[in-house]
Structure 1
Amino acid sequence: MIDHGFMCHSCGQRHEGLPFSYGTPAPAYWRDDLNNDERSVLEDEICIIQAQHYFVRARLVIPVLDADAVFEWGVWVSLSSTSFSRMLDHWTTPGREQEPAYFGWLSTELPAYPIETLNLKTKVHTEQVGTRPHIVLEPTDHPLSVEQRNGISVKRVQEIAELLLHHEG
């Protein structure tokens, strides 16, 4: 059995359990004052901002090459009004995973990358009912896209953990 605890280079302490997934509660564009806006809604899986911008929560999966595992970013992706409506229309429909992928823009800023992750082009793939959609980034030289295509090591998972466990705001 692999010990997924690690000695943190940031604080010098040992952390038990190396997390293999992180997520954000809202798209980067959500602001607290929108809680009082009747045209805006933030739920666990969907978000609408001022009845103009539509988001769905999704998984960005990255293979972990030396652990026979996957690393997941829980992210938000913006969809067009048409795609968002279609996704909602099929939300509880068995077989929805046969739907063609939807185009979307990554709407989560991931601090583990030196280059902004907002607005990377994605394809949103619907999964079986009860499973969050997953996204595939457009193949570019952006470090996140490269990691999704090529995979990462457990050492990289630890680097991400060290950064996020001690990330200030």
Structure 2
Amino acid sequence: MNYAAEAPAVWDPAFAHADDCMLSSDQCVVRGRHYFVKGLIEIPVIGSDDVFSWGVWISISSENFSRAADLLDRLGREAEKPYFGWLTTELPVYSTTTLNLKTHVHTRPVGERPYVELEPTEHPLAVEQRTGITMDRVREIAAAVLHSKSSERL
């Protein structure tokens, strides 16, 4: 019940050989000016203890990117204040774009991806994060993602 984007929407495979660009499983830099971290938007599944997660990329400031990198292997890093960011993953199962939704990135213990909290708007993704989704919706998302070449299984 997890699906993840391989890279931020702004990533171009041609960047892979550029000195000022970098893409790993957790971090991304584009042209030495744009910084991204990967995190999870978690959505409760109604009527169960399960959680559906989207693995997404968030654009954050260079200062917060440096701070997150400094804390990468530090115990207790989950005490860090959340970082403001912009969602930079297009989730095609929503009729309204998910690009540039406001977020807060919450650092978790070492070995765990950050938790991404969406600004509480009326965007369908933000509503689902707040209210949860049914198992039928999980199956609908899974069917859509399995037919999409832009996502990968976590």
| TM bracket, shorter-chain basis | over 0.9
Aligned to 1:57: 38
Alignment root-mean-square deviation, CA: 1.0
Q: 2:21 aligns with which of 17, 24, 40?
A: 40
Aligned to 1:4: none
Q: Which has the larger radius of gyration?
A: 1
The answer for unaligned runs of 5 or more in structure 1 is 1-19
Distance 1:168 1:126, change over 3 A: closer
Pair 1:81-2:54 in alignment: no
Distance 1:107 1:92, change over 3 A: same
What is the number of residues matched between the two proteins?
150
> 1-side partners of 2:7 and 2:24: how far apart?
9
After superposing on structure 2, the runs of 4+ consecutive aligned residues of structure 1 that deviate more than 4 Å are: none
Per-residue deviation, residues 43-95 of structure 1 (Å, max 9, x unmatched): 11100001000000101100001232000000000100011111111111110
Q: 1:156 aligns with which of 115, 137, 140?
A: 137
Question: Counterpart of 1:135 in structure 2: which amino acid?
Answer: V
Larger RCO: 1 or 2 (CA < 8 Å, sep 6+):
2
Pair 1:97-2:53 in alignment: no
| Percent identical | 50
TM-score, length basis structure 1: 0.86
Matches within 5 A, 1:1-169: 20-167=1-148
Aligned to 1:14: none
Distance 1:27 1:168, change over 3 A: closer
Question: Counterpart of 2:112 in structure 1: which amino acid?
Answer: T
The answer for unaligned runs of 5 or more in structure 2 is none
SS at match of 1:75: strand
TM-score, length basis structure 2: 0.95
> 2-side partners of 1:149 and 1:140: how far apart?
10
Q: CA deviation at 1:167?
A: 2.9
